[in-house]
Amino acid sequence: MAAQTALSMRDVVFRYMEQGKRNILDHVDLEIPAGSVTVVMGAGGCGKSTLAAVAAGLYPENGGFLAGGKIAWFSTGLDRMNPQQRARQVGMLFQNPDLQFCMDTLRKEMRFCMENLCLDPGEMEPRIRAAAEELGVQELLDQPLHTLSGGEKQRAALACLYVMESRCLLLDECFANLDRDAALQLMEMLRQMHRQGRTILAIDHQPDLWLDTADEFILLGEGGRVAARGLHKGNLPQYRPLFQELGLFYPEPPRPYRPAAEEKDPILCFEELSVAKGEVRRSLFRRRTEPAPLLLEGAEARFPKGSMTAVLGPSGCGKTTAFLAVLRRHAYTGRITLDGADLSGIRPRDLYRQVGIVFQNPANQFITQNVAEEVMASLRVWNPAWPEDACRAEAERRLEEYGLSRYRRYSPYMLSQGQQRRLAVLSVLCGGQKLLLLDEPTYGQDARSVQAIMAQLRDKVDNQGLSVIFITHDRALAAAWADKIYWLRDRKLEPARAGEVTL
């Protein structure tokens, strides 16, 4: 007897603008077997995340236009399901879990999810307790969600899908912001849910974590159309040329870290640097304030000028907070010097003229509704005397350099996560800053885009004297590109040793 089909997409056509000439999903046909673990891969901008959103019913209900085709879950047409019925068939885990929380704690969020399914209130607390025990998230139930690390947030979001008992889990880059240990914890939760009969459909750029779990890898080409399917751990080597052709990551053996032979003078120094998780917090039981826990304590570091330095460490250890301290957006004690000058004596405008940052979620820093205008806005800030024609010509040149020219008239929010990252990097570099801080610079990008961005940064480091410090969970990326690597662990910054950094 043929296996039941979980998801069926027949001749699906989707675009963001009703009269637009470009179909994001261009006559897509796709079937996913029930009970399987399937991983969908494709180049940035090919339509992977859009395919997931259309399959889950988020589009066109919340944007865009379904110009043709049929979508069904477990043999029931998506157009015949109300939101409650959809939620019982498919639950979606986004790239950024912050986008799907409505309440302030996991316990309340899980209850809210079940309320939306109109479950008996008497069933809710037993379900919450059982799910928390089964998935090992008891310690997260009553913590404020905004205080959780990226890995903890993803585990919390997955626990919400668990109590909803959706038949299929649709995951969009669920490991993108996680260190390896956190990713392995999340993967074990997914295996547990799969053993209980859930279908898992994952959109991902990195196949490594899925090799021992996935039944099938599917590669997408332009317009979300299937380029190849039936790939698995056993036959993956024969598809390596196709991975390269599509610009996708192919699993490789770990590469050891080799630091630069000679370290240059520092552009940034930390001296006895201590950074707390928050400013202060008031005790619930005493009428006094208590210091927040320290993320860094007496940390020492020297970041070489004209070099690329990577900072590695587990989720929630304080890497991003340390960046905010450099920008004077978070309190610290000790001393930070920038090119020999004490940070406390540098005026904000002068500081931002020297230091640029691209955040983990680049969409949070866009200021316009047009890709070309986003670049021009940055050029105008730092080059107020330039005429409009010069700004436009330079914006076009930069968009071409970063592979975004064809999207010049798009809204930045219509770009894929990888395209948004590239736009943010090139916009920040419009100021000619000498130090660039990058928080997960390659998050959500395919291998070709990662190579392009890192090569562009390397060129600016080697030929223009730019200094780059990047936070990453990708140890292979750090080993391949960094001249120096720091580990943030036990509240200290420790230089990595040669050969130490592996997968």
CA distances from 338 to 23, 238, 302, 445 (A): 48, 50, 10, 31
140 band by pLDDT with thresholds 50, 70 and 90: very high
Give residue-wise pLDDT tens across range 185-213.
Answer: 889 989 999 999 999 999 998 899 999 99
Q: Looking at the predicted structure, is the pLDDT value of residue 274 above 90? A: yes
Q: How far is CA 15 from the centre of its chain?
A: 24
Q: Is the pLDDT of residue 290 over 70?
A: no
Please tell me the predicted confidence (pLDDT) of residue 474.
86
Closest CA to 309 of 426, 178, 206, 441: 441
Q: 3 pLDDT band (50/70/90 cuts)?
A: low
| 167-171, 209-213, 453-457: least confident range | 453-457
pLDDT in tens, 37-94: 999 999 988 899 899 999 999 999 988 999 999 999 999 999 999 988 999 999 998 8
Pairing of strands 467-471, 37-42: unpaired
> Would 5-246 and 266-281+288-495 be classified into the same CATH topology?
yes
Domain 266-281+288-495 has CATH 3.40.50.300: yes
pLDDT digits (tens, 9 = 90+) for 364-407: 889 999 999 999 999 998 888 999 999 999 999 999 988 889 99
State residue 288's pLDDT score.
47
One-letter amino acid at 5 equals T
CA-CA distance, 15 to 13, in Å (whole number)? 7
Average pLDDT value over all residues in the chain:
88
pLDDT at res. 291: 65
pLDDT score at 278? 65
Return the CATH number of the domain spanning residue range 5-246: 3.40.50.300
pLDDT digits (tens, 9 = 90+) for 220-229: 999 999 999 9
Residue 281, pLDDT > 50, answer: no
Closest CA to 473 of 298, 317, 364: 317
For the chain, what are the domain ranges?
Answer: 5-246, 266-281+288-495
What mean pLDDT comes out for the span 2-16?
90
Contacts 24+ apart (CB under 8 A), 378-384: 378/427, 378/428, 378/430, 378/431, 379/430, 381/430, 381/431, 382/353, 382/430, 382/431, 382/432, 383/430
Return the structure tokens found at 11.
């001749």
Model pLDDT, residue 270: 97
